[in-house]
């Protein structure tokens, strides 16, 4: 019988690492529990929106996941349940139902959000590299973003009866990224153009600054910035007009150039005619 001791597997992975082959959690042998526990918040979403999210998961480079489709109380999604009947990774649960997370990471997203082929890998890389508590991303076309947590952290807070959201904020462990930078989008919209293979996912950052416009100093600062922008725009328009005027050809110069182009004979005739007018006067 195979031993439950993982020391042999660890030794193999260490030998591979020394040989230059570094395996991410995504690329190691599957465990009894999946790598990712995914919660799709279905709520009032249509079956098509839920299916759009699930279809993007099928196309993902990471297939080591279990999915809970969280639907409104006492609702059924018969068509979706029939579609996914043979895939035991998918479960339909009612809102408010809670079960312990059984994956290394927990991803929470709204129905209708589509993931790119390497989105899951990029988000896990980013969470690991930055040692963040929670990774959040905004998704264009969606009212809510996505969240990626370490499941062990969520379970620890559940046992202690503490709020993981508040704990993450107090510890400064929230990290925001741009959803389109890791391939996230509303499933009906075109896929964003991303090149995740060119660099670590940790490079895709989004800095969010929240300011209260009810604060007088903040409002004054914005008004000053607006006036400065208007001044720069006015100067730019003035420079453009001066440039256009400077490029207009001088009428006298243009006339002389036209005469020269007609040749010496024309110039001689014009000079004789002018001399005749002078003598006649």
Domain map of the chain by residue range?
A: 7-203, 252-281
Confidence of residue 41 (pLDDT cuts 50, 70, 90): very high
With 50 as the cut, is the pLDDT of residue 160 above it? yes
Strand partners, 135: 148, 175
pTM score > 0.85 for this model?
Answer: no
State the average pLDDT over residues 52-61. 93
Q: How many CB atoms lie within 10 A of CB 81?
A: 13
Main-chain phi, psi angles of 61, to 5 degrees: -70, -20
For the chain, percent of residues with pLDDT exceeding 90: 27
Q: What angle, 0 to 180 degrees and rounded to 10, lies between the N-to-C axes of helices 264-280 and 251-261?
A: 110
DSSP state of 89: T
Strand partners, 92: 69
DSSP state of 54: H
DSSP state of 194: -
Q: Say what the pLDDT of residue 275 is.
A: 72
Q: Say what the pLDDT of residue 199 is.
A: 43
Q: What is the residue whose two structure tokens read 């979403």?
A: 45
| C-alpha R_g of the chain | 34
Confidence of residue 200 (pLDDT cuts 50, 70, 90): very low
Q: Indicate the SS3 state at residue 174.
A: strand
Q: Say what the pLDDT of residue 203 is.
A: 47
Mean pLDDT across the chain:
79
Q: What is the residue whose two structure tokens read 């080591």?
A: 64
Main-chain phi, psi angles of 36, to 5 degrees: -125, 135
Query: Using an 8 Å Cβ cutoff, are 187 and 119 in contact?
Result: no
Query: Using an 8 Å Cβ cutoff, are 108 and 39 in contact?
Result: yes
Mean pLDDT check: name the lowest of 21-25, 61-65, 140-144, 244-248.
244-248
Specify the long-range contacts of residues 239-246, CB closer than 8 Å, at least 24 apart. none
Confidence of residue 281 (pLDDT cuts 50, 70, 90): low
The tally of CA atoms less than 13 A away on the side-chain side of residue 84 is 21
CATH topology of domain 7-203: Spore Coat Polysaccharide Biosynthesis Protein SpsA; Chain A (3.90.550)
Query: Rounded distance, CA 207 to CA 212, Å?
Result: 17
Query: Rounded distance, CA 263 to CA 280, Å?
Result: 26
Query: Using an 8 Å Cβ cutoff, are 182 and 204 in contact?
Result: yes
With 70 as the cut, is the pLDDT of residue 214 above it? no
The pLDDT tens digits for 1-40 are 444 455 666 788 788 888 888 777 667 777 778 999 999 9
Q: Give the contacts of 147 (CB within 8 A, at least 6 positions apart).
A: 107, 108, 109, 134, 135, 136
Q: Indicate the SS3 state at residue 186.
A: strand
Query: Using an 8 Å Cβ cutoff, are 29 and 6 in contact?
Result: no
Q: Say what the pLDDT of residue 13 is.
A: 79
Max intra-chain CA distance, the chain: 128
Confidence of residue 91 (pLDDT cuts 50, 70, 90): very high
Q: Say what the pLDDT of residue 109 is.
A: 94
Q: Indicate the SS3 state at residue 259.
A: helix
Query: Using an 8 Å Cβ cutoff, are 167 and 132 in contact?
Result: no
């Amino acid at each position: 019988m195979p031993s439950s001791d993982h020391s042999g597997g660890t030794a193999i992975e260490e030998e591979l690492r020394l040989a230059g082959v570094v395996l991410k959690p995504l690329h190691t042998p599957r465990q009894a529990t999946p790598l990712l526990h995914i919660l799709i918040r279905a709520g009032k979403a249509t079956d098509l929106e839920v299916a759009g999210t699930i279809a993007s998961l099928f196309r993902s480079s990471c297939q080591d996941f279990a999915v809970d489709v969280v639907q409104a109380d006492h609702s059924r999604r018969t068509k979706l349940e029939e579609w996914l009947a043979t895939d035991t990774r998918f479960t339909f649960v009612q809102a408010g139902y809670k079960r312990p997370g059984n994956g290394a990471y927990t991803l929470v997203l709204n129905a209708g959000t589509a993931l790119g082929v390497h989105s899951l890998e990029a988000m896990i890389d980013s969470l690991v590299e930055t040692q963040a508590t929670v990774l959040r991303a905004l998704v264009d076309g969606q009212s809510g973003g996505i969240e990626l947590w370490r499941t062990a952290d969520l379970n620890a807070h559940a046992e202690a009866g503490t709020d993981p959201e508040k704990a993450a904020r107090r510890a400064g462990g929230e990290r925001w990224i741009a959803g389109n930078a890791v391939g996230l989008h509303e499933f009906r919209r075109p896929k964003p153009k991303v090149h995740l293979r060119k660099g670590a996912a940790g490079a895709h950052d989004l800095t969010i600054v929240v300011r209260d416009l009810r604060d007088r100093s903040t409002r004054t600062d914005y008004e000053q910035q607006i006036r400065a922008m208007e001044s720069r725009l006015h100067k730019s328009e003035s420079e453009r007009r001066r440039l256009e005027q400077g490029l207009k050809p001088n009428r006298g110069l243009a006339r002389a150039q036209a005469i020269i182009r007609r040749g010496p004979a024309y110039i001689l005739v014009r000079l004789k005619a002018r001399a005749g007018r002078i003598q006649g006067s």
